[in-house]
């Protein structure tokens, strides 16, 4: 990195420090069956109910590669604008652990299926940065040890054993907790667009190993520590902050950072050691003799490329250029495919900025509050469009529209039906507006005098009073016009 962004530096007693971060993200491949067996992968199934003889490592069982999982990895690589390696190799990564019945994990080491790529992160100050992707490889997940079901024994659930994972490794290109969070956010968004990982961090479908080191700006990279298995974006950010702070304090007190694997404890907000480099496993990788090198047909890869959806960055740029949205709103609306589709349905044939305001404002507030996804929205895209149409053709005012929207959320009724049933149509007929205006003018001689003496801002107060008197149903433009005429008479 040639330039140092001062604002992203962290303070220490001896001056400013730069944080360096690289992430290794494990993403569970969206697939009904496992990487080398036909067993199911559904989340939350009865323990050990989705385990084939291959997953349980019965003697003589042979792995058979799942073509769909390979396709998903290739699709992901293409979505990250990465090199697709037409020949890759599966290796055995050897270690002993009770939830790993084979005694090794099938992974890819020297020749992964996907090589260098990149991803653009979006930051709160409106800027974007490119982060390098080092590689993506396919590997099997292990089973799960359950320590709290029996006082003396550990239980093993092999449902996850053999489930396909993509390990996506970034370059050490990130420089702050915010950037690390933005990276996971964008990666998750791309995976969901591609349909290659559901990105569900609470269910463990996406988890990150966070590598952190610190240095004085301009110096060489410091020694890194790796914080294992962080399972939310907020925790990734907190882990970076806590670990960088720990390393800075340690160095400034004359200590030295030792390469370690650590764990983040969210309740205490600190990282603690798990194992040191000396205790690190020697995995004795070697090519798995049960599996041939994986060879991909370039035409097959090209077909997958042709089938890719429009991805978030491209969609965001299109929302800015086609609809005139701010980059921020365009980013919010394109972050997930369903919101983007919802938006485009509402915006079609309507004012795109008004449509965007209704989504990012009112609708998202309701979804957030009720903890709903856009697919579960109590107001459909068509129904929201209908409401916006009533404002556009002056049937109702923007103020009344907010009340109508609240009732749509609550009852599921259409805007036009609510407006008709409650008689909320805007009063454009000048009669009642004139009457209300006359009454306000007659009862507030002080303000009339002030207005006539030159305090023109008071027109707002008069408009407010008339709006109030008409239950908010008067057309504000008409009210303004009538009042000005009467007050200057």
| Binding residues for ligand ADP (CB under 6 A) | 20-24, 169-172, 211-213, 221, 224
Give the nearest distance from C-beta 208 to ligand ADP in angstroms: 10
Most distant CA pair in the chain, distance: 100
Is residue 198 within 8 A of residue 205, CB to CB? The reply is yes
Is residue 63 within 8 A of residue 290, CB to CB? The reply is yes
Q: Which residue is nearest to ligand ADP (CB)?
A: 22
Tokens of 169: 């490794």
Give the nearest distance from C-beta 101 to ligand ADP in angstroms: 25
| Separation CA 273–CA 277 (nearest Å) | 11
Is residue 22 within 8 A of residue 211, CB to CB? The reply is yes
Q: Pick the closer one to ligand ADP by CB: 66 or 134.
A: 134
Q: Pick the closer one to ligand ADP by CB: 170 or 189.
A: 170
Q: Cα-flanking dihedrals φ and ψ of residue 79, to 5°?
A: -65, -20
| Separation CA 367–CA 96 (nearest Å) | 46
Q: Pick the closer one to ligand ADP by CB: 271 or 397.
A: 271
Q: Pick the closer one to ligand ADP by CB: 169 or 346.
A: 169
Q: Pick the closer one to ligand ADP by CB: 247 or 356.
A: 247
Q: Pick the closer one to ligand ADP by CB: 172 or 199.
A: 172
Give the nearest distance from C-beta 134 to ligand ADP in angstroms: 6
Q: Pick the closer one to ligand ADP by CB: 76 or 356.
A: 76
Give the nearest distance from C-beta 93 to ligand ADP in angstroms: 12
Sequence-separated (6 or more) residues with CB below 8 Å from residue 150: none
Pairing of strands 225-230, 260-265: parallel
Q: Pick the closer one to ligand ADP by CB: 25 or 396.
A: 25
Give the nearest distance from C-beta 23 to ligand ADP in angstroms: 6
Q: Pick the closer one to ligand ADP by CB: 25 or 39.
A: 25
Is residue 80 within 8 A of residue 133, CB to CB? The reply is yes
Classify residue 360 by its DSSP letter: I
Pairing of strands 286-287, 91-94: antiparallel
Tokens of 358: 């209704």
188 to each of 26, 156, 178, 304, how far by Cα in Å?
Answer: 11, 29, 15, 20
Is residue 454 within 8 A of residue 443, CB to CB? The reply is no
Q: Pick the closer one to ligand ADP by CB: 100 or 212.
A: 212
Q: Pick the closer one to ligand ADP by CB: 72 or 211.
A: 211
**C-beta contacts of 263-272 below 8 A and 24+ residues apart:** 263/227, 263/228, 263/229, 264/210, 264/227, 264/230, 264/235, 264/238, 264/239, 266/235, 266/238, 269/238, 269/242, 270/242, 270/246, 271/225, 271/227, 271/239, 271/242, 271/243, 271/246
Give the nearest distance from C-beta 201 to ligand ADP in angstroms: 18
Give the nearest distance from C-beta 280 to ligand ADP in angstroms: 9
Is residue 74 within 8 A of residue 65, CB to CB? The reply is no
Give the nearest distance from C-beta 162 to ligand ADP in angstroms: 23
Give the nearest distance from C-beta 392 to ligand ADP in angstroms: 50
| Separation CA 314–CA 317 (nearest Å) | 5
Torsion of CA 430, 431, 437, 438, to 10 degrees: 140
Give the nearest distance from C-beta 220 to ligand ADP in angstroms: 9
| Separation CA 453–CA 445 (nearest Å) | 12
| Separation CA 318–CA 261 (nearest Å) | 42
Give the nearest distance from C-beta 21 to ligand ADP in angstroms: 6
Give the nearest distance from C-beta 301 to ligand ADP in angstroms: 25
Q: Pick the closer one to ligand ADP by CB: 170 or 339.
A: 170
Give the nearest distance from C-beta 173 to ligand ADP in angstroms: 7
Q: Pick the closer one to ligand ADP by CB: 225 or 436.
A: 225
Is residue 292 within 8 A of residue 302, CB to CB? The reply is no
Report the candidate in 344, 394, 339 with the shortest Cα–Cα distance to residue 363: 339
């Amino acid at each position: 990195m040639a330039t140092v962004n001062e604002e992203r530096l962290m303070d220490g007693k001896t001056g400013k420090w730069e944080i360096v971060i690289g992430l290794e993200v494990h993403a569970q491949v969206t697939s009904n069956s496992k990487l080398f067996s036909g067993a199911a992968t559904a989340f939350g199934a009865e323990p050990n109910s989705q385990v084939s003889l291959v997953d349980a490592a019965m003697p003589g069982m042979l792995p058979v590669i799942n073509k769909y999982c390979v396709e998903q990895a290739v699709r992901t690589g293409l979505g990250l604008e990465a090199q697709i390696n037409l020949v890759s190799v599966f290796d055995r990564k050897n270690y002993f652990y009770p939830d790993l019945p084979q005694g090794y994990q099938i992974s890819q080491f020297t020749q992964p299926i996907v090589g260098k790529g990149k991803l653009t992160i979006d930051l709160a100050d409106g800027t974007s940065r490119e982060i390098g992707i080092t590689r993506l490889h396919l590997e099997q997940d292990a089973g799960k040890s359950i320590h709290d079901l029996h006082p003396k024994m550990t239980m093993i659930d092999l449902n996850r054993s053999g489930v396909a994972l993509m390990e996506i490794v970034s370059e050490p290109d990130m420089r702050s907790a915010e950037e690390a969070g933005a990276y996971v956010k964008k990666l998750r968004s791309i995976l969901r667009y591609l349909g290659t990982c559901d990105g569900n961090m609470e269910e463990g479908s996406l988890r990150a190993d966070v590598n952190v080191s610190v240095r004085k700006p301009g110096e060489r990279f410091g020694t890194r520590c790796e914080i294992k298995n962080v399972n939310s974006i907020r925790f990734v950010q907190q882990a970076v902050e806590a670990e960088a702070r720990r390393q800075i304090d340690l160095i400034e007190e004359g200590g030295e950072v030792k390469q370690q694997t650590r764990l983040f404890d969210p309740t205490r907000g600190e990282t603690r050691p798990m194992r040191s480099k000396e205790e690190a496993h020697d995995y004795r990788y070697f090519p798995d003799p049960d599996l041939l090198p994986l060879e991909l047909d370039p035409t097959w890869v090209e077909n997958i490329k042709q089938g890719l959806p429009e991805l978030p960055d491209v969609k965001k740029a299109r929302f800015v250029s086609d609809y005139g949205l701010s980059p921020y709103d365009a980013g919010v609306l394109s972050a997930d495919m369903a919101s983007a589709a919802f938006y485009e349905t509402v915006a079609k044939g309507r004012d795109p900025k008004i449509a965007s305001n209704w989504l990012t404002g009112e609708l998202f507030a309701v979804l957030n509050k009720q903890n709903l996804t856009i697919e579960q929205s109590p107001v459909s895209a068509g129904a929201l469009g209908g409401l916006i149409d009533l404002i556009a053709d002056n049937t109702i005012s923007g103020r009344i529209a907010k009340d109508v929207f609240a009732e749509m959320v609550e009852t599921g009724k259409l805007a036009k039906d609510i407006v008709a049933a409650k008689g909320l149509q805007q009063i454009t007929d000048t009669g009642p507006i004139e009457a209300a205006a006359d009454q306000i003018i007659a009862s507030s001689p002080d303000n009339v005098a002030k207005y006539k003496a030159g305090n023109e801002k008071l027109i707002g107060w008069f408009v407010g009073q008339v709006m109030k008197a008409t239950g908010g149903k008067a057309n504000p433009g008409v009210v303004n016009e009538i009042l000005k005429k009467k007050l200057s008479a």
